[in-house]
């Protein structure tokens, strides 16, 4: 695992690459699983913004979109049944490791369980900061600074048509842009298009968590970079943003010219990425200047979504009021 400011995607990519169930870049996985299209902020711009979602259902869908079968469990450590769940969690994680697949779990962030030692009663896990594995005693599993425990086991892979996966991701991108996450109270969080409004409102008022804002902006800069690369790859073009962010996936590039609408979206996401990169790279920017950059990014992302809508309009129309349903 290598931590690159992509919550969950960093961990999932490590598991799938090691198991041989995925060969693409993190940007490709970020787009295909739809995680890169999620854009949620706490209205005070606190650091947990990028991980504020229903892990149980959303991470299941992330795996499912790419043909990965998985199981996941989560709950609260203060529940009286937690010791029993912890025992089951350790057993299932160990069984997954024995089958050759690491397990994703929450330890204040998403990390990967990569080994264990029953004699010492410890799990070995990677947090992606370096090549060293950390130790976590079995009895401390779930002690992560939050009241939540969570783990996900990737069980297998069902072959799927890559074209269909990519097209579905665009439908889900539209849904994420237009729909508030029902798991989050609107008074505290904003999602998709509304996240830009929340950011601008917070910057104008000055009532926000400045350290959290820096972390939030840097994390979303990584995701916007992924979207620029992912859409450029899907369109078979190398946008200016894709050139900045590593090479386009070779399989996607073979479909050159197949989706001209996505080429337009890629150009827009390239602009979004450049704007977020500037915001993240220059934390000392005055709030008034950052507001202008976010407003420009919102306009560019709106145009990207409009281009994706033109591509998938027939399927979107067939799904009526909820294009998130498959």
Residues 185-190: contacts with CB under 8 Å, at least 24 apart: 187/43, 188/42, 188/43, 189/40, 189/41, 189/42, 189/43, 189/49, 189/52, 190/40, 190/41, 190/43
Phi/psi at 174 (nearest 5 deg)? -65, -45
CA–CA separation, 97 and 94 (whole Å):
5
pLDDT of 241 reads 36
pLDDT of 234 reads 86
pLDDT digits (tens, 9 = 90+) for 194-213: 999 999 999 999 999 999 99
Tokens 């297998």 belong to residue: 156
CA–CA separation, 47 and 281 (whole Å):
17
Q: Other CB atoms closer than 10 Å to residue 188's CB: what's the count?
A: 12
* Contact yes or no for 181/53 (Cβ under 8 A): yes
Stretches where the chain sits below pLDDT 50 are 237-248, 250-257
HSE value, Cβ hemisphere, 13 Å, CA-based, for 268: 19
pTM (predicted TM-score): 0.88
Phi/psi at 154 (nearest 5 deg)? -90, 120
pLDDT of 316 reads 66
pLDDT of 326 reads 61
The length of the chain is 326
pLDDT of 258 reads 59
């Amino acid at each position: 695992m290598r931590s690159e400011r992509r919550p969950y995607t960093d961990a999932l990519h490590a598991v799938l690459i090691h198991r041989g169930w995925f060969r693409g870049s993190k940007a490709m996985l970020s787009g295909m699983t739809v995680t890169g299209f999620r854009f949620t902020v706490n209205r005070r711009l606190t650091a947990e913004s990028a991980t504020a979602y229903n892990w149980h259902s959303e991470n299941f869908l992330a795996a499912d979109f790419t043909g990965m079968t998985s199981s996941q469990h989560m709950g609260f450590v203060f529940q009286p049944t937690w010791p029993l769940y912890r025992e089951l969690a350790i057993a299932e994680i160990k069984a997954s490791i024995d089958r050759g697949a690491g397990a994703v779990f929450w330890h204040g962030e998403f990390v990967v369980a990569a080994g264990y030692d029953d004699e010492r009663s410890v799990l070995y896990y990677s947090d992606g900061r370096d090549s060293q594995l950390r130790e976590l005693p079995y009895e401390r599993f779930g002690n992560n600074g939050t009241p939540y425990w969570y783990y996900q086991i990737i069980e297998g892979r069902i072959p799927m048509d890559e074209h269909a996966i990519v097209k579905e991701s665009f439908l889900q991108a539209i849904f994420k842009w237009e729909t508030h996450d029902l798991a989050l109270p609107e008074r505290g969080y904003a999602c998709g298009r509304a996240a830009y409004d929340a950011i601008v409102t917070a910057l104008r008022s000055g009532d926000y968590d400045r350290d959290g804002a820096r972390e939030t902006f840097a994390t979303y800069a990584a995701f916007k970079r992924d979207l620029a690369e992912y859409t450029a790859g899907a369109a078979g073009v190398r946008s200016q943003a894709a050139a900045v962010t590593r090479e386009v996936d070779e399989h996607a590039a073979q479909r050159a010219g197949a989706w001209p609408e996505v080429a337009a979206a890629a150009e827009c996401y390239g602009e979004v990425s450049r704007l977020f990169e500037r915001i993240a790279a220059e934390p000392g920017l005055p709030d008034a200047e950052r507001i202008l950059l976010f407003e420009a990014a919102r306009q560019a992302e709106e145009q990207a979504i409009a281009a994706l809508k033109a591509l998938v309009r027939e399927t979107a129309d067939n799904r009526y009021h909820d294009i998130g349903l498959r």
